[in-house]
Amino acid sequence: GAGVSQTPSNKVTEKGKYVELRCDPISGHTALYWYRQSLGQGPEFLIYFQGTGAADDSGLPNDRFFAVRPEGSVSTLKIQRTERGDSAVYLCASSQGGYAYEQYFGPGTRLTVT
């Protein structure tokens, strides 16, 4: 079956602009996660959804970052007033929900802020 998909695969934007990154989870997966991976680092947790609600948003770095999952499937990560330090690969993962289930990762969106 289809895995987690993310669009776009690459996004170049100017400092100060607004961007949206999309994640399509595996069908039927109730849990969705966003991570950010900066160059030379491991993935860093941003936010976790269970269904439509954000169950844990403790990893969002500041209020410029926001994510939604209105129908419990597709999620959008929104970044306002982008800064050069936001440049990274943004990874999405989904799982069947619950502590024991494996997280399946998407290919990522590479965001470059110029």
Partner 1 sequence: AQRVTQPEKLLSVFKGAPVELKCNYSYSGSPELFWYVQYSRQRLQLLLRHISRESIKGFTADLNKGETSFHLKKPFAQEEDSAMYYCALKGGSEKLVFGKGTKLTVNP
The site for partner 1 (CB under 8 A) is made up of: 3-4, 31, 33, 35, 40-45, 48, 50, 55-56, 58-59, 91, 99, 102-108
Closer of 70 and 98 to partner 1 (Cβ)? 98
Helix or strand holding residue 20 (H, E): strand 19-24
Rounded to a whole number of angstroms, the minimum distance from the CB of residue 35 to partner 1 is 8
Rounded to a whole number of angstroms, the minimum distance from the CB of residue 37 to partner 1 is 8
Closer of 20 and 44 to partner 1 (Cβ)? 44
- Phi and psi of 98, rounded to 5°? 100, 150
Rounded to a whole number of angstroms, the minimum distance from the CB of residue 22 to partner 1 is 16
Distance CA 56, CA 58 (A): 6
**C-beta of residue 35 within 8 angstroms of C-beta of residue 43:** yes
Closer of 60 and 113 to partner 1 (Cβ)? 60
Closer of 18 and 101 to partner 1 (Cβ)? 101
Rounded to a whole number of angstroms, the minimum distance from the CB of residue 67 to partner 1 is 14
Q: Positive or negative CA dihedral for 47, 6, 74, 80?
A: positive
